[in-house]
Structures are given as structure tokens and as C-alpha cells.
Chain A
Amino acid sequence: MATEILMPALSPTMEEGTLAKWLVKEGDKVKSGQIIAEIETDKATMEFEAVDEGTVGRILVAEGTAGVKVNTPIAVLVEEGESPAASPAAAPAPAAAPPAAPVAAPPPVQAAPMRAVAPDTSPDWPAGTPMKTMTVREALREAMAEEMRANPNVMLMGEEVGEYQGAYKISQGLLDEFGPRRVVDTPITEIGFTGIAVGAAWGGLNPIVEFMTFNFAMQAIDHIINSAAKTNYMSGGQLGCPIVFRGANGAAARVAAQHSQDFAAWYAAIPGLKVVMPYSAADAKGLLKQAIRDPNPVIFLENEILYGRSFEVPDLPDFTIPFGKARVWREGTDATIVSFGIGMGYALEAADKLAHEGISAEVIDLRTLRPIDYDTVLASVMKTNRCVTVEEGFPVGSIGNHLSATIMERAFDHLDAPVINCAGKDVPMPYAANLEKLALVTTADVVAAVKSVCYR
């Protein structure tokens, strides 16, 4: 049986090349792996090996020929005793394959602009549930402890999480309860232990990786994005990565540029990740439990300043908060303020101040940034016709920017004023006390923005 030798593609971008030189002639015997020709691509001259054994029956493209398209037959290999004339190349190759079916248009990034807005307004826990007061720190610790009790494959690793009881004391007591097999102190080697945790997740564990702060996760971001976030897709759905990356995010106080950065918008940009940024202790608890149970990599962004704040938390043996469900903290009619994480502090304070001035602001806590609950935001904007977003991160490419675009696409006709984004300033965080205050978003900024969208 004669075989055609086709012009090879020798680089990902090669479409044609020059058949620079034949190293065999008609009638020569070739072995598989033998170099039979030299081919010039746009980048280099490459040696071309025979795949099959046989005798060179005919050479179809003479050496020195330029512009030979990839997959053009260049020679025919015949078996012992076979006549070269019997080769299929004697007959002209069939014309190009029939035109492929039209490629389906990719789905739009967002849902279709006109999709109906249907916010989920169900309560997070049943009415009448007894409540208890606890700090965000305690809520996070309880969430981890409960999930570790419930699932033996949940383990915690990170710098100082064990014997030191956590740099910010989130993991206090966990080493005592769960032992060093499940509460693992790591050396300072973020990219290393993050990769190890991702591998462990593939192997069937449910690791919680604590970054002392998310500033140090920049050392590990390759594994977070290239390994954890993308592998389920790259493996055709085989290799999900049930892992939680958690730790303090954003500015603390006076710790300067390298230790004061909000990564919310960075991680929210990555398909394959889920991104959570709670404000209250109840959300911290319910969302962290949900994150630990989620079969995907979850970025869980905490805040050092919020750790010590107290909130009411439902006193239930087990409760979770679903992802993609915003919480309306305060209903209002004149303007919508959308925020998340520590930004909620400014949003709620601003709403109080505005109420004194006769402006009724609705305040929405997104709680999760991937997925985002667009419907709750849109329904509110359709009611108030005005929107201000609040976050601490950098202003360029912010969550607020993204929401503004979505509101414009899906609720343009409902807007009575342009959406205003309140964000951190477009500067690295300065150390000086006075400059640091200026770099952060303030309640006054939010009040001014709401007044501005209300033309007041």
C-alpha cells in the first residue's frame, strides 16, 4: 500500500514552506525516523523525518520549491514490489473539503441585554432563627472548624496557621483540635505550597490555603490561575480543583504600598475561579462554609480591619450562603449604592448620613464577585434610577467599572444619571498617615457621589 508524504507543519503558525533539499531520491529505501528532507519555515530550517518505512516511489515536489502549502503531498512511499504508478498521488487529490458548517457564534460575555431581571429575594435563614453576636474572626474560625469536623479531607495549610495560631489568629485552636496532619505550618514559600495544595486537591483533598495576606499570594498567583483555575477546562471537565484560598486582603493600617492592595477585581477577572468578599460575620461564616464545599477554586478575600468587628450570626448548627446572591442591607428609593467587603462600611455610613439629608439610598452588598448577582443590582437601579459603586481597590478596571458597563447594557433607559464609581485612588498606597487617608475611599466620597447622581 503506497503512502503519501505530506508537507509538514513545523511550527504552530506555519501555513507554507520551502522544500529546501531532498536527502533521498526515487528508489531509495527509507527507515522510519530517517531524515529525508530539509524544510524551511518562516522561522528556521527544519529536518523532516520519515514516519513510515518503504521505498521512495516518486518525488512530487522538487527541491527548491517555495510556497508549498502544509499538507500538500510531496512524495510517495511504496512498499516492497509495489509500482510507483499505483500510488494514489497519481490521481489528483480531491478538492478542498466541503465547507464546514457555520461556526456557532460564541455566547455573549454577559446574559443577553434584554433578559428579564429576576432577583432572588429569599431570606438567608428562616425568620425567627435565634442570633448570636460574634466577630468576623470567630465566624471564619467556626466555619473552618465545622467543615473540618464534617469532612475529614478538609485541611488547612499556610504560614503560621498552626503553632502560632495564625498571624491574625483566625486559626486559633485548630491545631489543638485537628492536629498537625490537618493543620499544616508551611515554610515561607508561597508558590511552592500553593502548587502542592492544588495537587492535593486534584488528589482528592479539600485544602484551605491561608495566605498571611493576599499581598503574598502574588508570589503564588501562577498556580492560582494557571493551575487551579484553568485545569478543569483544560481537562475537559475531569480535574476540578476543590480548594479555598483565603486571607486578609486590602489595606490594613499604615503598612504601605507592598502590604496594602485589594485584589478583588484581579481575581474576579478570571474564569474558573469563584471570588467571595464578605462584609458581615454571618456572611463570612456562611460563605466560607459554602466555599469549602464548592468543587471549584474559591478566592476568599477577608479584611484585617473587619476581623475584630462584631455582627449578629444565626445560631444554627449548619448554614451556608449561596454564591451569586447579593444582600440588600437597606432599602431605599432615591439611589442605589453597591459595594462589598469593607466598602460596605462606607456605603452604610453614607446611607445613614444621606437619610438625614432626606435622600433614601438602597444599599446592596454583592458578597460574591464571581458569580455576581447582576439581577439584584439591576432591579434596584430600575427602581432608583441612580447608582454609585464603592470599593477600596484601584479605580482602573474595577468591579465598579464592570457594574457600570453592565447597567449601561441592561438598564440604560432606566438611568437618570451616569453611574459613579468610588474607589481607591490611582496610586500605590503611601505610608504617611495623611496621605493614606486620602488614598482610600471615604464615606464623604460616597455621600458626595450619591448627591451628585441625585443632582443635589
Chain B
Amino acid sequence: MSSQKQDEAKTTIEDVLEKPSSRRKFLKGASIAAAAGSAAVAASYMSAADPASAGELKLRWQEYFKKNYRIMSQEEKDETVTRLERLAKMQDNVDVQIGNEPPVEKVLFGYAFNITRCEGFMECVTACVKENNLDRKTNTQYIRIFEMEPGQLDPSTGDGQYYHKVPVDDKFYMGAQCFHCEKAPCIKACPTKATWKEPDGIVVVDYNWCIGCRYCQAACPYYGRRFNWGKGEVPKEEITTKQHYLGNRKRPMGKMEKCTFCIQRTRKGKLPACVEACPTGSRVFGNLLDPDSEIRYVLKHKKVFRMKEEIGTQPKFWYFID
């Protein structure tokens, strides 16, 4: 990349981040149709068709005009999570705690998956759905387990929709989810800078800044991103109430979402829900910058490989064999 091009790129980022109006400017520039789309989003957001109290309308109004999470001050972050908690109470009558824990210093999260051990039980998938409040109506899942023929290592050749007793003899199982690439093409694709990599390596989405254009999904070479077609319907008694702004909080309709390494858990030292649920211990998670961590042991002592290594996306998700 030439330095001139780099400068250009930099200005665009600054434009988008610092001028609140440029998100709309982008849409205008891209196409009139898209601008119309954005208007529709705005209208739906502010729609007063349902009876809402003045207090709720005020909160929604303030929510609509907030900044991108990345340039919010700590005070603004605290304000928005408080607003969101109050809105959850008003709209759905649920008591949620939305955190905004910052990344832990000297931590870079990494993940390893043992393809010799996984037996395809998919308990990780159900745990993830529950933890991250995924839409039950469309059966959204961040994790996909592929049943693979021996010798194959590309999940696209496997069966991602099996339903029979597992493990099947002579098959093996391979999990895929967002790999939190160090050089993530999805981030470059986003026209509104609604998705980025946090210092602890987690690739996140600001659900309020996302316009639902799905460019990032098209750019992801893996099976990382999920588009939220619905309202995220979760039975009230099943809602995970410990949430994070960048994690499992309620997503507005028409936004992009994906695995966040359970940011609401892992920033507090807990394991992601999938790791905790895995009955075979195929999932290893930890701090890549800790030479004594389990993940580093795997990287040092096991034969590891990553999916589509050659395209240079540098996923922080390694497969390994015993």
C-alpha cells in the first residue's frame, strides 16, 4: 500500500469517527437507494406506532444520537449502558446488567480446537445460543460443527447440518465460528467502521453503528458472521442477563452479529460458554501473551494449522491433532 493511499484511508476513518454526520453522507454518496434504506432504519427506530412513554421516547432519542462506541468517553459509555438497561426494563420488563469492561492489559485471546477429540455433540452450540441470547425464531447459531470425511481439512467439504447419532465411525468433526483474525477482511469491508479489533484481539461490532449492509459478511472467508433478520426473540426466562455492550446484549433488528469470544465472560477471566460446555475438552482458550497458558502449550507442542492459512488473514483460532 502506498503511503498516499494510507493517508487517504486514515482520513476516511477520522471522517467517519469524528463527524457524526458522515455516516449518512456515506450512504448518500453510495447510492440514493441506500440513503432511503437508512431513512427507513431511522423511521423504524423512532417509530411511535407502539405506545411508549415520554421517558422511553427520550431514552430512545438519546440512544439514536449516541456516538460510535470507540470514541465514547468512559462517562458516555456508562450513560449508554444505563439507558439500555432502563430500556430493557421498560420494553421487555427484564433486569439486565450491561457492562462495558475494557480489555485486560497484556492479554491477546486465542483459541484452539482439537479435531481428534471433538465428537460432534454440539453442546457448545446450545451453550452459545443461550449465553449470547441468539434469536430462537430463526435458530441463529454462531458456531457450526462440520462432520468431515477423513483426509479432508476444508469445512466446506463437510456436512454442517448432520443430525444422527455421533460420533460416526471414520468421520471427524471440525468447529467453525468467527476466528477473530488479526488481519480481518471484515473490518476493512465495513463502510461505517462499525466493526473493529479490540486490543485484546476480539473483533467486535457496535450494533448501533452498524447499518446492516452485510459487506463484512461477504468479506469474511470463514463462517464468521450472522445477520440478524429478526428482533432477536428469546423467551424471557432464558435471557442471559449478564451482558456486555459489545457482546450479548439485545441487538436491534437488521444488524450484524457474531461470536465475540463471550466478551462479557472472558474480560472477567471466565472461559467462553462453548469451552465450558464442551464435554470432550476439545476447546482450549486462553491468553496468547502468557507463555504459561494452555493455549501456548498447544501451539508449542501440537501440530497446529489454521483454515485458509494462505490468504493471510491470521485467524487466532488453531486446529490441532492429539
The yes or no verdict on A and B being binding partners is: no
